[in-house]
Amino acid sequence: MRPALALTTGEPAGIGPELAAQLAATGHAGRLVLLGDETLLRERGAAIGIHVDWPRFDPERDDDVSVLHLPLPATSQPGILDIANAGYVLQLLDLAIAGCGNGTFAAIVTAPIHKGVINDAGMAKGFFFGHTEYLAERTGTAQVVMLLTGGQMRVALATTHLPLSDVPAAITPETLSRTLRILDVDLKRKFGIAEPTILVAGLNPHAGEGGHLGREELEVIIPTLDRLRAEGLKLIGPLPADTLFNRKQLAQGDAVLAMYHDQGLPVLKYASFGHGINVTLGLPLIRTSVDHGTALDLAGTGRADPGSLRAALDLACELVQRQRS
């Protein structure tokens, strides 16, 4: 039997349900299990011309598409957030995580969720930062790494969803070392790169300009890279971020490590938006996702592009196959 891939359909008021229905109704890789309310999926599919009823998920059957039904607490309207459904969104993730843990699912592919409504509903312990942090907490993983691929680039992040003012303090020798080790290991294990080379961005303009534009490079980043090079990691940097993302420089490495969210991702998303993929490294499971948000303004219109979700599903299948080979 083919491995089953869990697709969490995300925020019910967003484009996730219709993208999932669109993807399931067309050619796709793997054995796809849609996690969500089956009535919602049927209605959102019908709204964009997809009239297919998929069977309920049965782990003993090899259906191309099936639905693991979780009922919505409240009726959802396209584009209109409802805090009554915030818990449903997290339950979908919990079902997928549990399924990966017991072998029912081989990977998780996630449609977009809306952080604001989850926080407004008070559903998470403390502040809800997003999929990456939630998956880490639920799997008991001390540190994960967000990696986006697209536009012939792989860009990982040393810090993720933090205010810019908090970034320098979050980049310590310990966290930077763990991030680079995770990135190195998963480039080998998940992407099949035998000896990956990682391009590391500096934190400050011009990578600190020898300490004149900040001392984080001198005091944290350079000593950490030197120690990891002594362990055998192939690292180039720290490099000024304003010149790192050119073809000649990128050709020297297999991935870039950016120091913060908006240092690396704007470049990648400019090059690949709508077809980029978010991969969470360091987890005890395979997880891929779209590179965009819930797009409430497009929900229910049929104008949302499933390209990123399709790419995420294709990559999840590729990673599963590599893991099993």
The pLDDT tens digits for 139-182 are: 999 999 999 999 899 999 999 889 999 999 999 999 999 999 99
Lowest pLDDT segment from 114-128, 213-227, 276-290, 297-311: 114-128
The CA distance from 2 to 21, in Å, is 21
pLDDT exceeds cutoff 90 at 1 = no
Contact between 130 and 160 (Cβ < 8 Å)? yes
pLDDT of residue 127: 76
Q: Please give the Cα distance from 110 to 304 (Å, whole number).
A: 16
Assess whether 174 and 118 both reside in one domain. Answer: no
Q: Examine the pLDDT at 314 and tell me if it is beyond 90.
A: yes
* In a shared domain, residues 91 and 67: yes
Residue 131 backbone phi and psi in degrees, to 5: -55, -50
What is the per-residue pLDDT for 81?
97
Residues 174 and 237 in one domain: yes
Q: Is the distance from CB of 124 to CB of 90 less than 8 angstroms?
A: yes
DSSP string, 270-321: HHHTTT-EEEEESSSS-EEEESS---TTTTTTS----HHHHHHHHHHHHHHH
User: Among 47, 186, 28, 50, which Cα is nearest to 109's?
Assistant: 28
CA proximity to 298, closest of 72, 48, 36: 48
209 and 324 in a single domain? The answer is no
Same domain, yes or no, for 17 and 130?
yes
Pick the closest to residue 314 from 2, 15, 17, 23 (CA basis). 23
Give pLDDT, residue 129. Answer: 84
Q: How far, in Å, CA of 125 to CA of 249, rounded?
A: 42
pLDDT at 27: 72
Question: Cα(221)–Cα(203) distance, rounded to whole angstroms?
Answer: 9
Residue 100 has pLDDT above 90, yes or no: yes
Is pLDDT of 209 > 90?
A: yes
* Backbone dihedral angles phi then psi of residue 224, each to the nearest 5 degrees: -65, -45
Asked if residue 205 and residue 75 are part of one domain, the reply reads no
**pLDDT for position 75:** 96
Give the domain CATH number at 108.
3.40.718.10
Domain count, the chain: 2
Integer CA distances (angstroms), 291 to 143, 222, 302, 307, in order = 21, 31, 19, 10
The pLDDT value recorded for residue 28 is 73
**Is-contact 313 184, C-beta < 8 A?**
no
Question: Domain containing 237: what range?
Answer: 142-282
Residues 65 and 113 in one domain: yes
Q: Is the dihedral of CA 47, 50, 52, 55 positive or negative?
A: negative
pLDDT of residue 109: 97
HEC-encoded secondary structure of 205-267? HHHHHHHCCCCHHHHHHHHHHHHHHHHCCEEEEEECHHHHCCHHHHCCCCEEEECCHHHHHHH
Asked if residue 325 has pLDDT above 80, the reply is no
> What pLDDT sits at residue 123?
75
| Whether residues 212 and 320 fall in one domain | no
Same domain for 260 and 178, yes or no, is yes
Which token pair is 75?
């009726």
pLDDT score for 189: 93
User: Within this chain, do residues 93 and 149 fall inside the same structural domain, yes or no?
Assistant: no
Decide: 178 and 143 in contact? Cβ < 8 Å.
Answer: yes
pLDDT at position 288: 97
List the beta bridge partners of residue 35.
8, 68
Share of the chain above pLDDT 70, in %: 99
Mean predicted lDDT score pLDDT of the chain? 94
Pairing of strands 31-36, 4-8: parallel
pLDDT given at position 216? 97
Instruction: Specify whether 162 is located in the same domain as 275.
Output: yes
Single pTM value for the model: 0.91
- Rounded Cα–Cα distance for residues 18 and 306 (Å): 9
Do 93 and 154 fall into the same domain? no
Residue 172 structure tokens = 């310590």
Q: What is the pLDDT of residue 26?
A: 85
> How many other C-beta atoms are found inside a 10 Å radius of the C-beta of residue 188?
14
Q: What integer is the mean pLDDT of 213-228?
A: 97
